[in-house]
A and B are shown apart, each in its own frame.
Chain A
Amino acid sequence: MKWLIDLFSSSIGRKVVMALTGLFIILFLTVHLIGNLQLLKDDGGEAFNVYAYFMTHNPLIKMVSYVNYAFFLFHIGWALLLTIKNRQARGTEGYAVTSSKSSIWSARNMGILGTIILVFLVIHMKDFWGQMHFGEMPTKTYGDHEVKDLFTVVGSAFTQWWYVALYCISMVAIAFHLWHGFASAFQTLGLNHMKYNPVISFVGKAFSIVIPALFALIPIVMFFV
């Protein structure tokens, strides 16, 4: 099994971990968004609360969510490791003059963007995920089901303007992170061919605008309505 250790300790193997976990998180974002859009449904939060109950109690979803947490940790851990290695590769003396013309901003600043997203993630997890899993929460009864009223918790959080602003800024960071990350993952996995490159490029760019924009729309709408 030496080959497996060699593979994942090689530069390409480490990049593949970044790409695969990144693509999984992209999938997760899509599912997460579809679920969250139920917050905008005008039913006093019933659809969202039932959905939140399902997501925290379905055994299959629970299993996938553990994989999801692990992939997030891998994505962050490997990014740190690669960043340190890459800094070392430059050597002790840097350039006095550098130019930014030859690459795009988001590609050069994935680490900074990722750090902003991580800070957001901690706040986000603490306030909603942590609350849902371990916190004391008001409940609501639908039919004969008593479920935690996450809708009200989310709703009250989004009455604060700074909380909405934090979400919007974080979504911009995610948009830029995806702008580079989406297509970059395919390149790392070796999927670069003129037959499908335009598709990856278009879908990647559309995804990185549409998904964060819809995510940001939720707190904005909940703040004003």
Chain B
Amino acid sequence: MKIKLKVWRQKNKDTKGAFKTYNVDHASPDMSFLEMIDVLNTELIKKGEESIAFDHDCREGICGMCSLYINGHPHGPLQTTTCQLHMRTFKDGETITVEPWRAKAFPVIKDLVVDRSAFDRIQQAGGYVNVNTGGVPDANEIPIPKRVAEEAFDAATCIGCGACVAACKNASAMLFVSAKVSQFALLPQGQVERKERAEKMVAQMDAEGFGSCTNTYACEAECPKGIKVANIARMNREYLGAMMTSYEGSTGGGGE
């Protein structure tokens, strides 16, 4: 099949980018979208041109590395990762527009590659649990209702790809952050840092310059892992509850 590809090319963070159109004449319907770009890149290298930079890693839909905003949708028209998107989704002769994620907190580094380390910093701010070392605990020592465990696991399937930010008209990261908050808030292991986690992760999210959620739910519709917006409501609860009941770190007290 033949494809016309309109790709965003940008030399580096500081230069202005622009669209460039490429013809891909030998695309197979069985190729993944990334493989199609691989083929195009090989041709570009042969011609002595600079290949198109894009993020990718596992290519089996679990690492969250691939991005690309394809024809107005993060990861393309299907609710999947770009590596799991196949060329059979598109029509022969179609023009496909490929853009990088657009968010102030995700600056474009080169072509289609954006810097998503803002997500790492949010995660580092509170997306962890402290565990005592010592003897190996019994695997089933702490009872957890099955439904709760499943809910936590559903939240934990978030791969941090940033499609929620890309899809959101406000570039809000709340679906991502709420999945990370929920995953631990639901489980007994996450209780110790529960309040601190909600406060710190939300504060970091705001500091990174992500927008506020206006509940359009575009994130849920585009999330390749089907993370539910019910998590955002949970994060709001967690955050509001924490802000009103946690101990402030700087509070003196004790009649000093």
Contacts and interface: CB of A to CB of B under 8 A. Distances in A.
A2 B248 CA distance: 9
A225 interface: no
A104 B169 CA distance: 12
A62 interface: no
A107 B234 contact: no
Contacts of A108: 169, 216
14 contacts: A2-B250, A6-B203, A11-B212, A86-B171, A86-B172, A89-B104, A90-B102, A91-B104, A96-B19, A99-B73, A187-B215, A187-B229, A188-B236, A193-B230
Chain A contact residues (Cβ within 8 angstroms of B): what range? 35 or more
Contacts of A93: 17, 102, 108
B contacts with A: majority SS: mixed
Chain B contact residues (Cβ within 8 angstroms of A): what range? 35 or more
Contacts of A191: 233
Contacts of B250: 2
B234 A15 contact: no
Interface string A1-17: 01100110011111110
Given A12-B239, A95-B72, 12 more contacts: A3-B243, A6-B243, A12-B212, A85-B212, A96-B6, A96-B97, A97-B72, A102-B217, A103-B216, A110-B214, A184-B214, A190-B240
B209 interface: yes
B222 A102 contact: yes
Contacts of B239: 10, 12
B215 A86 contact: no
A7 to B, nearest CB: 5
Interface of A: 2-3, 6-7, 10-16, 82, 85-86, 88-99, 101-104, 107-108, 110, 180, 183-184, 187-193
B148 to A, nearest CB: 14
Nearest to A94: B102
A192 B169 CA distance: 22
A95 B210 contact: no
Given A82-B212, A86-B211, A108-B169, A7 B103 contact: no
A12 B170 contact: no
Interface in B54-94: 69, 71-73
Contacts of B104: 88-92
B169 to A, nearest CB: 6
A90 B211 contact: yes
A102 B236 CA distance: 22
Nearest to B237: A190
Nearest to B108: A93
Interface in B175-226: 202-203, 205-206, 209-218, 221-222
B112 interface: no
Nearest to B212: A11
Nearest to B165: A89
Contacts of A10: 202-203, 206, 239, 243
A13 B69 CA distance: 30
B122 interface: no
B243 A11 contact: no
B232 interface: yes
A11 B205 contact: yes
Contact of B169 (A13, A86, A101, A193): A86
Contacts of A92: 104
Nearest to A181: B215
Q: Which of B108, B174, B211, B238 has the most CB of A within 10 A?
A: B211
A15 B216 contact: no
B168 to A, nearest CB: 9
Given A6-B203, A97-B97, A103 B243 contact: no
B213 A15 contact: yes
Nearest to A92: B104
A148 B249 CA distance: 58
A204 B161 CA distance: 33
A192 B212 contact: no
A184 B232 CA distance: 12
A42 B253 CA distance: 66
Contacts of B19: 96
B101 to A, nearest CB: 10
B170 A192 contact: no
A90 B211 CA distance: 8
A107 B170 contact: no
Q: Which 7 A-B pairs have the closest CB atoms?
A: A190-B237, A89-B211, A192-B233, A99-B72, A102-B221, A86-B170, A103-B216
